[in-house]
Amino acid sequence: MKKLLLCGVAGMLTLAACKNGSDGSYTISGTIKGLTDDTLLLAQQAEGGMPKIDTVQVKGGKFTFKGTTAQPTMAQMITKDQTGGFPLFLEAGSIKVSANKDSLPFGKADVTGTPNNDDLHAFMQMQDPFMHEMMAIQGEYMQASQSGDTSRLGASQQRMDSLEKSMTASVKQFVKAHPKSLVSGMALQGMMNTMDAGELSELFKTLDTSIQNSEYGKAVGERVAAAQKTAVGQQAPDFTMNDVNGKPVSLSSFKGKYVLIDFWASWCGPCRQENPNVVKVYNKYKDKNFTILGVSLDRENGRDDWLKAIKDDHLDWTQVSDLKYWQSDAAQLYGVQAIPANFLIDPQGKVVAKDLRGDALESKLAEVLQ
């Protein structure tokens, strides 16, 4: 949920547009049931990072909008009060929309008529059951977190992990079937934080070069390149960052030991849930040529929260942070885009395992430190 999911309040959209593709012109025509006379906002990314906003007039639930685009561009059609909307691709041709006002808060609309919009429609239908289940799990997780029910927290996390595997399988299926679709690039970008780096790399290779070179493809390519730098068997990239006392600490200063680089943050619920397990293995193996280097992705104004979490969770190993949140230099270097994340480094400085959680972490340490 890093990007705005447009939602709305009523209606069904039925678009009937003109076919005119050679010059990049498009027509969006539709009907939103439940929405009478109103204004919709059509937002698309423009140069400089600021969105370009057009207005679309709705009369009796119907609307028509015409424009031109040099290349297919993702956009959002948003209700005037910004309580809902839906995504679509602006691309040459006749774009047809059908939606119901009550479905817009959930980002739902049938958008078809052009290649990428047809693909997006098919993909969203495939993902819809997963999104419903994800919202239910997140609700359960929040309730368990507020009540301090660690058992329910663990159960919710297990359900989420299982759901992510199912979602990954569906994305793989879609991408393999649509290698020339921008939606495949968009889908991979959306899953690149949870998908295994090896799987991501293999799927990226199946994309048409035009998609690899798209905005979405380039983001995935950068993620793949970063993952390759920290793949098992690679020399772990060195970095230096200040500890809790402002003293610079380098990863290379731990050479000669097994080191678990543990990326976390005080605000990260799953990280805090995993911390007791990390504490357990640290206490068990700290006298066997093993240590941990904690790297926090806390914010600049979150230093006190970071220090409090270290104390509360009994993280009695070296902790560093540049307090740059997701722009953390170490996280960027290691391609970390979701936490908790970790990398196990051997005494020679090579990566021997990554993303070890729960029993898997202890099993791997037992194997290498026997």
Domain annotation covers residue 14: no
The sheet with strand 110-112 has its strands ordered as 62-68, 25-33, 93-100, 110-112
Q: Is residue 33 located within the same domain as residue 131? A: no
pLDDT of residue 3: 25
pLDDT of residue 2: 28
Q: Is residue 337 located within the same domain as residue 256? A: yes
pLDDT of residue 58: 92
Question: How far apart are the C-alpha atoms of 228 and 40, rounded to whole Å?
Answer: 44
Q: Is residue 100 located within the same domain as residue 168? A: no
Q: Is residue 203 located within the same domain as residue 308? A: no
Q: How many helices (H) and strands (E) does the chain have?
A: 10, 15
Q: Is residue 337 located within the same domain as residue 259? A: yes
Of 174, 199, 229, the one marking the end of a domain is 229
For the chain, how many structural domains are there in total? 3
* Other Cβ atoms within 10 Å of 65 Cβ, number: 21
- 96: tokens are 């047809």
Domain annotation covers residue 282: yes
Domain annotation covers residue 93: yes
pLDDT of residue 51: 81
pLDDT of residue 236: 95
Phi-psi region of 26 (alpha: psi -120 to 50; beta: other; left: phi over 0): beta
Q: Are 234 and 228 in contact (CB under 8 A)?
A: yes
Q: Is residue 259 located within the same domain as residue 353? A: yes
Question: How far apart are the C-alpha atoms of 272 and 278, rounded to whole Å?
Answer: 10
What pTM, to 2 d.p., does this model score?
0.68
| Residues in the chain, pLDDT under 50 | 1-21
Domain range for 82 = 25-112
pLDDT of residue 8: 26
Q: Is residue 204 located within the same domain as residue 225? A: yes
φ, ψ of residue 231 to 5 degrees: the values are -70, 155
pLDDT of residue 185: 94
CATH number at residue 341: 3.40.30.10
Q: Are 256 and 290 in contact (CB under 8 A)?
A: no
- 45: tokens are 């990314």
Q: Is residue 96 located within the same domain as residue 153? A: no
Q: Is residue 130 located within the same domain as residue 185? A: yes
Question: How far apart are the C-alpha atoms of 195 and 370, rounded to whole Å?
Answer: 31
Domain annotation covers residue 17: no
Question: How far apart are the C-alpha atoms of 13 and 30, rounded to whole Å?
Answer: 5
